[in-house]
Amino acid sequence: MPPHAPTALVTGATAGIGLEFARQLAERGSNVVLVARDRARLEGVAEDLARRFGVTCEVLVADLGDRAQVQMVADRLADAARPVDLLVNNAGYGLKKGFLQNEVEVEELAFDVLCRAVLVLSHAAARAMKARGSGAIVNVSSVASFVAMGSYSAAKAWVTVFSEGLANELAGSGVKVMALCPGFTRTEFHQRAEMNMSKLPDALWLDAGELVRDALADLDRGRVVSVPGAAYKTLVAALSVLPRGLARRASGGVASRRRPPTT
């Protein structure tokens, strides 16, 4: 690739939405820095993207629940000699049980991956991008950020509001920030988290490829919050005008009816 080709760094890049971001960005001609825990899967994705699209693929093996490894990724984002033009904070963490059923250590690890890593990596990327006067950050949140369904919902609410605040702080700097808030998406996320999703209507499932295409289009338009899918756009619009107490009670009712995950 020519030296001026843009570079994107994607966390959680070996599966689901993260993998789809890596594929579509590589197809657009971006070099990619792939971040995940599994070296073998990372190297497989890197080889595939390099072969198919002729881009440079860099592998960073990192567990974003580990502070030292998060800092390693932050240092890569801050490296002025190898600028990153787009950061996609996508790494996820599935919680199989309710807050009180989980051990607190599980909740802390989820918080570190879903919130702390987003904060640290966004800080490193935003500083470097602001200094250059260009760049973009996509923080993958969730439609769950608009409801009240446990600590996962709370973590994603933090991601959404954090992204909005950072977008305000960077206004006029040439750096874009967007919170991507998808609903249920056909990936291996729920299977790996051992969640039983068999009762969910087909109409509520999103396609990962279409989701990422729409997200990148929204980023190009300068949107700060992107909600993919007509059904979820309608839901979020309704929640925005619904009294908070009613929305909270409805969220609690949905949560109480969820079937326990299969193991």
- Residues acting as catalytic residues: 152
The torsion angles phi and psi of 61, rounded to 5 degrees, stand at -85, 115
Q: Packing angle between helix 104-111 and helix 150-169, nearest 10 degrees?
A: 20
In the chain, helix, strand, coil percent, each to 5? 55, 15, 35
> Residue type for 215, please?
A
| CB atoms inside a 10 Å sphere around CB 218 | 18
> What residues form DSSP beta bridges with 34?
10, 59
The candidate with the shortest Cα–Cα distance to 163, out of 227, 224, 231, is: 224
Q: Residues 34, 80: contact at Cβ < 8 Å?
A: no
Element (H, E) at 34: strand 31-36
The torsion angles phi and psi of 259, rounded to 5 degrees, stand at -75, 150
| CB atoms inside a 10 Å sphere around CB 243 | 8
Q: Residues 125, 89: contact at Cβ < 8 Å?
A: no
Is residue 263 classed as helix, strand or coil in its secondary structure? coil
Is residue 137 classed as helix, strand or coil in its secondary structure? strand
